[in-house]
Structure 1
Amino acid sequence: MKATVLAHADYSIAEIDPRLYGSFIEHLGRAVYTGIYEPEHPTADENGMRRDVIDLVREIDVPIVRYPGGNFVSAYNWEDGIGPKDQRPVRLDLAWHTSESNEVGLHEFSDWCSSVGTEMMLAVNLGSRGLDEARNFLEYANHPGGSYWSDLRIGNGRAEPFNVKLWCLGNEMDGPWQIGHKSADEYGRLAHETAKAMRSFDSSLELIVCGSSNAKMPTYPQWEATVLDHTYNEVDYISLHMYFDNKAGDTPNYLAQNKKLDDYIVSVSGVIDFIKAKKRSSKDVYISFDEWNVWYHSKEQDEKILKGNDGWPFAPPLLEDIYNFEDVLQVGLILNTFIRRSNVVRIACLAQLVNVIAPIMTAPGGEAWRQTIFYPYMFASRYGRGTALDLRVKSPTYEVADIGEVDSLDVAAVHDAEGGFLSFFVVNRSQTAIETAFDLQGFAAAPSIADYQVMTHADLKAVNSLEQMMEVAPRAGDGLVIDGASLAGTFPPMSYQMIRIKLQPAAQ
C-alpha cells in the first residue's frame, strides 16, 4: 500500500498550547500513596516523594497536572490536607470506597510539582460544597498575606502564594455517580456564581466548567449548551472526558475510535460557537480535555474492590491497567487527534500519571518503570511543541461499523520554527506495510533526519512489567530517505513512528 503526505509551512492549524500534554493525579488507588509519595522508599526525598518517579515524570516533560480529582474532589475538604500532618483527619472517600489519610495535600503536592517542573491545575469541590469553600481555597492558595486564609497558609510554612492560575469548577457534575450530582441548570447557576466570585478576587484566572463525562451521556450535548448559556462570559474552557477500550477484542474497531473522539470535539466546538453567537460575545471558550486514556484492563478487579467487600482500604491497587503494545497505537492516535484539533483543544490531561491508568508504574518499596504508553506520550510532549500543521494526507482506508471510513495511516505534524525542527507522529493501524512519500514545502533548504524512533512488536498484547521493563520500547528506525523537500520510507504494519527533521537556517 502507498500513501502521500504534503506538509507546507504555511498550512497551519494553531500554535499548540504546551498544556495539551498535561496529566492528572487524583487521590485514588496508589496514584499518591506508593505512587508519587512513599517516605520509606529508598529513593524518597526530604518530602517523602519518590525520586525515581520524579525522574520519569521529568523525562516526559509534563507541563501541568490536574489535582486532587476526579470523582474524589466532589466530597473533598481541602482544609483536611493542610497544617501539621499528625493533626490531619482520616476521612472516608465515598467516590472510591477507601480511606484517605490526607498526608499529602496542597503544600506537599505543590512541592512535588516544583520538583518535576510542572504547574498545578486545581479543582474545587462543587459537589458536596460550593462557592464559599472555593473562594476560601483560592484565597489560601493565591493571596499574598494579611487575610485569614492567606495568613493561615503562611503559618503553615508557605510565605509566598502558590499563584495557581488554572481552576476546575468541579468534576463530571453531569454524572449520577458523582457526589452532589446536579442538573445542567443547577450546576450552571452554581458554576456561574462561583466563577464570578473567583474572578472578583483575580480577573486573570483561567476557569474550566464541566462538560459531559462522555459522549454517550443522555444529557449530551444539551448539557454543554445549558451550562455554557449560564457561564459563557465567566469561563475560559469547558471540560470533556473520554476513555477507550477494546473489550470486544476487535483491533480494527479499537484503533478507529479516535474518529469518535474527533466527532466529539467537533460537536462541542459547534455548541461553543452557537452559545457565543447567542450571547453576541467576542470572547472565545476552548476545550480542556482533562481526562483521557485507555481504560478497561483492570475493571473486573476494580469492581470487586469497589463493591465494598473489603471495607475501607487505604490506597488499594485500583484502576491499575497494564498496557500492551496495541494501546501504544491507540494513545498515539489520540494524541494525533489533539494536535490536529489544537485550535480548539488547548488543554488535555492524560488520566492518570502514576499507577492509576498510568504511563508510570511502581512497586511499593521497589522499582518504577515505564508502561508501553509512556513512549508516545513522551514523544508528543517533548517534540509536539510549536505550530500544528494542516497536512494533506492521502492514505489507504478501511471501513468500521458505526464509525465509517478511516485512514490506515494517521499522521500529525508540528513545526518548531524557533528550534528549527519539524516533527511527524505516524501510526500505521493496518496489517500491511505502507510505503509513504512526504512532500515538505515552504521549509528551509537541506533538511536532515535528526531522530527517527519506531515502535513495533510481533504481539499486540505484549506488556512491560517489573520483570521485563523494556519488552515494549522504541528503537532507532532505519530506511527513511530524505532528499531536499522529499522524505520517503515504508512504515511497518501496526507501528508507531516519531520522525524529527532538522531544518537548516535559511541563507542570509
Structure 2
Amino acid sequence: MKATITAHKDYTVSKIDDRLYGAFLEHLGRAIYTGIYEPDHPTADENGMRKDVIDLVKELNVPVVRYPGGNFVSAYNWEDGIGPKEERPVRLDLAWHTSDSNQVGIHEFADWCESVGTEMMLAVNLGSRGLDAARNFVEYVNHPGGSYWSDLRIANGKKEPWDVKLWCLGNEMDGPWQIGHKDAEEYGKLAAETAKAIRAFDKSLELVVCGSSHSNMPTYPQWEATVLEHTYDVVDYISLHMYFANPEKNASNYLALNQKLDDYIVAVQGVINFVKAKKRSKKDVYISFDEWNVWYHSRQQDRKILEGQQGWPHAPALLEDIYNFEDVLQVGLILNTFIRRSDVVKIGCIAQLVNVIAPIMTEKGGDAWRQTIYYPYYFASVFGRGTALDLRVDCPAYDSEQYQNVGYADVSAVHNEEDGTVTLFAVNRHSSETIEISTLLQGFGDLKVIDHQIMTHEDLNAVNTVGNKDNVAPRKGEGAGVSGGILTASLPPYSYQMIRLG
C-alpha cells in the first residue's frame, strides 16, 4: 500500500501556540494526593511534591496546566486552600462523592508548577458561586499588594503575585451533572458579567468561556451560539471537551473517531464566525480544547464510589484507566488533528496528567511510570513546536460505521524555522498492511533524517505496568531517508511514528 504526501514550506496552517500541548490536574481521585503530592514519599521535596513525578512531567515540557477543575471547581471555595495547612477545612466534594483535605491549594500548586516549568491556567467557580468570588480570586493571585486579598496572599508567604494570564469562566456549565448547572442564557449572562469584572481589574488577561461538554449534548451547538452572543466581546476562547472510547473493541471504528473531533472543531469554528459576523466584530475568538483523552477502561470499577456506596473517601482510585497500545494510536490521531486545526485550536489540555486518565501513573509510596500514551504526547509536545504545514495526503481509505473515506495513513507535520527542522507524526490505521509513504519536500533546502522513532506492538491490548514499565515504548526506526527532495519511509500495520528532518 502506498501513500504520497506533499509538504511545502509556504503552504501552512498556522503558527502553533505552545499551549496546544497543555495538561490538566483536578482535585479528583489520586491526581493531586499521591499523584503530585505525597509528603511521606521517599522522593518528596520540601513542599511534599513527588520528585519522581516532577521529573516525568518536566520531560513532557508541558506549557500550561489547568487547575483545580473540572467538575470539582463548580462547588470549590478557593479560600479553603490558603493559610496554615493545619487550619484548612476538610470539605465534601459533591462532584466525585469524595472528601478533600485542602492540603494542596493555590500556593502549593503554584510552587509545583514552578518546579516543573509550566504556567498556571486557573478556573473560577461559576456553579455554586459567582462574580464576587471570582474577582477576589483573581485579585489574590495577581495583585501586587495594598489590597485586602493581595495583602492576605503576602501574609500567607507569597510576596510577588503569580501574574496568571489564563482564566476559565467555570466548567461544563451546560452539563446537568454540574453543581450549579445553568442554561445557556443564564450562564452566558453570568460569564459576561464576570468577564467584565475581571477585565476591569486587568484588560490583558485571557478568558475562556464554557462551550459544550461534548458534541452529543442536546444543546450543542446552540449552546455555543447563545453563550457567544453574550460573551464574544469580552472573552478570548471557548472551551470544548471530548473523550474517546472503544467499549466494543472494534479498532477500525475506534481509530476513525478523530473525524468526530475534526467535525466538532469545524462546526464550532463556524459558530464563532457566525457570531463574529453578526456582531460586526473585528476580534477573533479561538478554541481552548481543555479536556481531551481516552476514557472508558475504568468506568465500571468507579461506579460504587461515584454512587456514594463507599461514603466520602479521601483520594480514592478513580478514573484510573490503564492504557494499551491501541490508545497510543488514538492519542497520536487526536494530536495530529489538533496540529492540523491549530489555526483555531490554540490551547489543549490532556485530561489528566497523573493517575486520573493520565499518561503518568504512581503507586502510593512506590514507583511512578509512563503509561503507553505518554509517548505520542511527549513527541508532539517536545518536537511539535513551530508552524503546522498544510499537507496534501493521497492514500487508500476505508469506511467505518460512522465515517466514510477514512485514510489509512494519518499524518501531520510541523516546521520549526528556528532550528530548521521538519517533523512528521504518522499513524497507520491498517491492521495488516504496511504503507510505503513518499513525501515530496518543497522549499526547505537540503534535509536528512535526524531522528526516527516508531511504536508498534503485536498486541493492541498491551499495557505498561509497574512491573513492566517498558512493555510499550518507542524504538529507533529504520529505513527512512531523503533522496532528491523526497522522504521515503515505511509505516508498519498499526503503528505510530515520528520522523524528524533537519
Shorter-chain TM-score bucket reads over 0.9
**Residues 326-365 of structure 1 aligned to structure 2 (within 5 Å):** 326-365=326-365
Q: Is the 8 A contact 2:130 2:194 kept in 1?
A: yes
Is the aligned partner of 1:443 residue 2:449? Answer: no
State the partner residue of 2:470.
470
The alpha carbon displacement at 1:304 in A equals: 1.8
The alpha carbon displacement at 1:187 in A equals: 0.1
Provide the rounded CA distance (Å) in 1 between the counterparts of 2:250 and 2:283. Answer: 43
The alpha carbon displacement at 1:419 in A equals: 1.0
Give 3-state SS (helix, strand or coil) of 2:300's partner.
Answer: helix
Q: Is the 8 A contact 2:253 2:402 kept in 1?
A: no
Amino acid paired to 2:206: E
The alpha carbon displacement at 1:484 in A equals: 3.6
Give 3-state SS (helix, strand or coil) of 1:437's partner.
Answer: strand
State the partner residue of 1:283.
283
Provide the rounded CA distance (Å) in 2 between the counterparts of 1:209 and 1:335. Answer: 23
State the partner residue of 1:44.
44
Q: Which runs of 5+ in 1 are unaligned?
A: 503-508
Q: Is the 8 A contact 2:12 2:390 kept in 1?
A: yes
Provide the rounded CA distance (Å) in 1 between the counterparts of 2:218 and 2:12. Answer: 36
Deviations 1:124-174 (A, max 9, x none): 000000000000000000000000000000000000001000000000000
Amino acid paired to 1:157: G
Give 3-state SS (helix, strand or coil) of 2:219's partner.
Answer: coil
Provide the rounded CA distance (Å) in 2 between the counterparts of 1:419 and 1:428. Answer: 28
The alpha carbon displacement at 1:483 in A equals: 1.2
State the partner residue of 1:142.
142
The alpha carbon displacement at 1:299 in A equals: 0.3
The alpha carbon displacement at 1:481 in A equals: 2.0
Provide the rounded CA distance (Å) in 1 between the counterparts of 2:12 and 2:484. Answer: 21
Q: Is the 8 A contact 2:411 2:427 kept in 1?
A: yes
State the partner residue of 1:378.
378
**Residues 308-323 of structure 1 aligned to structure 2 (within 5 Å):** 308-323=308-323
Provide the rounded CA distance (Å) in 1 between the counterparts of 2:218 and 2:491. Answer: 41
State the partner residue of 1:506.
none
Provide the rounded CA distance (Å) in 1 between the counterparts of 2:55 and 2:372. Answer: 17
**Residues 16-415 of structure 1 aligned to structure 2 (within 5 Å):** 16-415=16-415
The alpha carbon displacement at 1:27 in A equals: 0.1
State the partner residue of 2:423.
423
Provide the rounded CA distance (Å) in 2 between the counterparts of 1:491 and 1:263. Answer: 26
Give 3-state SS (helix, strand or coil) of 1:241's partner.
Answer: strand
TM superposition outliers: structure 1 runs of 4+ over 4 Å: none
The alpha carbon displacement at 1:303 in A equals: 1.0
The alpha carbon displacement at 1:402 in A equals: 2.1
Amino acid paired to 2:263: D
The alpha carbon displacement at 1:313 in A equals: 0.2
Q: So what's the TM-score if we normalise by structure 2?
A: 0.99
Provide the rounded CA distance (Å) in 2 between the counterparts of 1:468 and 1:437. Answer: 36
Provide the rounded CA distance (Å) in 1 between the counterparts of 2:404 and 2:166. Answer: 37
Provide the rounded CA distance (Å) in 2 between the counterparts of 1:489 and 1:180. Answer: 53
**When the two structures are aligned, how many residues end up with a matched partner?**
501
Provide the rounded CA distance (Å) in 2 between the counterparts of 1:375 and 1:244. Answer: 18
State the partner residue of 1:505.
none
Q: Which runs of 5+ in 2 are unaligned?
A: none
Provide the rounded CA distance (Å) in 2 between the counterparts of 1:324 and 1:140. Answer: 42
CA-atom RMSD in angstroms = 0.5
Is the aligned partner of 1:434 residue 2:402? Answer: no
Provide the rounded CA distance (Å) in 2 between the counterparts of 1:262 and 1:351. Answer: 18
Give 3-state SS (helix, strand or coil) of 1:382's partner.
Answer: helix
